[in-house]
Amino acid sequence: MKLVEIYQCLCDETRLRLLHLLLRGPLCVCHLQSALGEPQVKISKHLGYLKARGLVTAQRQGNWVIYALPPEAERAPEVAANLACLQDCVAGSVVFKRDLAKLAKEDLECSPLGRVRGAIKKRGCSC
Amino acid sequence: MKLVEIYQCLCDETRLRLLHLLLRGPLCVCHLQSALGEPQVKISKHLGYLKARGLVTAQRQGNWVIYALPPEAERAPEVAANLACLQDCVAGSVVFKRDLAKLAKEDLECSPLGRVRGAIKKRGCSC
DNA sequence: CGACTACATTCCGGCTACGGAATACAGATC
DNA sequence: GATCTGTATTCCGTAGCCGGAATGTAGTCG
């Protein structure tokens, strides 16, 4: 992956916010979506963009798709460096902190069904 | 300057190469142009892009315009961090190393006139 | 099977970036 | 003033991104 392509991935605010959350660990689309408060299409397309360029991986789990950064050992040096840099840079920014806060407030179960009727048969996603 | 805007400045290869050279110190347009081997319009427009966003400064010296990164003390933390990151990341890349090599071979005087007839009245730029 | 949920894709429109040719401009020299 | 040199800007065309509405798809549940 060329350096420019990394920056091209980073040059959109929505993608920055997504990557920032994924730095904390794997997440399903619905968690990302509600944390960012953006429409589903938008989230999905940007995740697709990142996935097409290898910056994130996707894995299906039942109804849900879990997105994650590749494990640290497998990251190209430039990717690792820039993710670390991103981590540092967002420290002061309100938007990013709000995303994290919103994520923390999310239930562990993904769907309402998972909470209401679930616990026996309907389980939420495991992220 | 917002973080995304920094990445937007970095997401073009020509601009990356320009910034990389400027990390070594101030340079006039003609030096940058011949180091990169790209047409003048292209160089000038990308420099304008960077200047408009405050990532570089420009200063006229006679016929020449010297571009430079703002002094380290004045750089926003995110800018400083990303420039450092860039510096690290280009280490392995051929293109960037070639740019530096080409720059080293340049004469100190900018224009042919400066070399041929000059030395008394016509001086090249001071970069 | 049908219905529902989570997610992806397609099909637009608008906007911006990028590149090159031509032109304009500023300062120096004559 | 005329001219040259270094640089910037304008005027194109093209291409890609971004967003949203609608539609499609995969998997689950009953």
Q: Which of B79, B5, B78 is nearest to A10 (CA)?
A: B5
SS3 content of chain B, % helix, strand, coil (to 5): 60, 10, 30
Does position A114 have pLDDT exceeding 50, yes or no?
no
List the CATH number of the domain containing A26: 1.10.10.10
Is B114 or A7 the better-scoring residue by pLDDT? A7
Query: How far is residue A84's CA from residue A23's CA, in Å, rounded to a whole number?
Result: 9
Q: CA of B90: which chain A residue's CA is closest?
A: A3
C-alpha neighbours within 13 Å on the C-beta side of residue A31: 27
Does position A109 have pLDDT exceeding 90, yes or no?
no
* Chain center to CA of A85: 17
Q: What is the pLDDT of residues B13-46, one digit of tens each?
A: 999 999 999 999 999 999 999 999 999 999 999 9
Which nucleotides in chain D lie less than 7 Å from some protein C-beta?
A: 5-10, 17-22, 26-30
Note down the domain range covering A92. Answer: 3-104
Q: Are the CB atoms for B15 and B53 separated by under 8 Å? A: no
Q: CA of A90: which chain B residue's CA is closest?
A: B3
Question: Does B7 fall in a domain?
Answer: yes
Provide, rounded to the nearest whole percent, the portion of chain A with pLDDT above 90. Answer: 78
DSSP SS3 for B99 = helix
Radius of gyration over alpha carbons of chain B, in Å? 15
Query: How far is residue A58's CA from residue B64's CA, in Å, rounded to a whole number?
Result: 51
Does position A118 have pLDDT exceeding 50, yes or no?
no
Question: Does A29 fall in a domain?
Answer: yes
Task: Please give the model's pTM, rounded to 2 decimal places.
Answer: 0.91
Q: Please tell me the total count of domains within chain A.
A: 1
Query: What residue has its CA nearest to the C1' of C9?
Result: A45
Q: Is the CB of A9 under 7 A from strand C?
A: no
Question: Does B62 fall in a domain?
Answer: yes
Question: Does A80 fall in a domain?
Answer: yes
Question: Does B111 fall in a domain?
Answer: no
Question: Does B115 fall in a domain?
Answer: no
DSSP SS3 for B27 = strand
Question: Does A26 fall in a domain?
Answer: yes
Q: What is the pLDDT of residues B75-124, one digit of tens each?
A: 999 999 999 999 999 988 999 999 999 998 876 566 555 444 334 345 57
Q: What is the pLDDT of residues A65-75, one digit of tens each?
A: 999 999 999 99
Question: Does A123 fall in a domain?
Answer: no
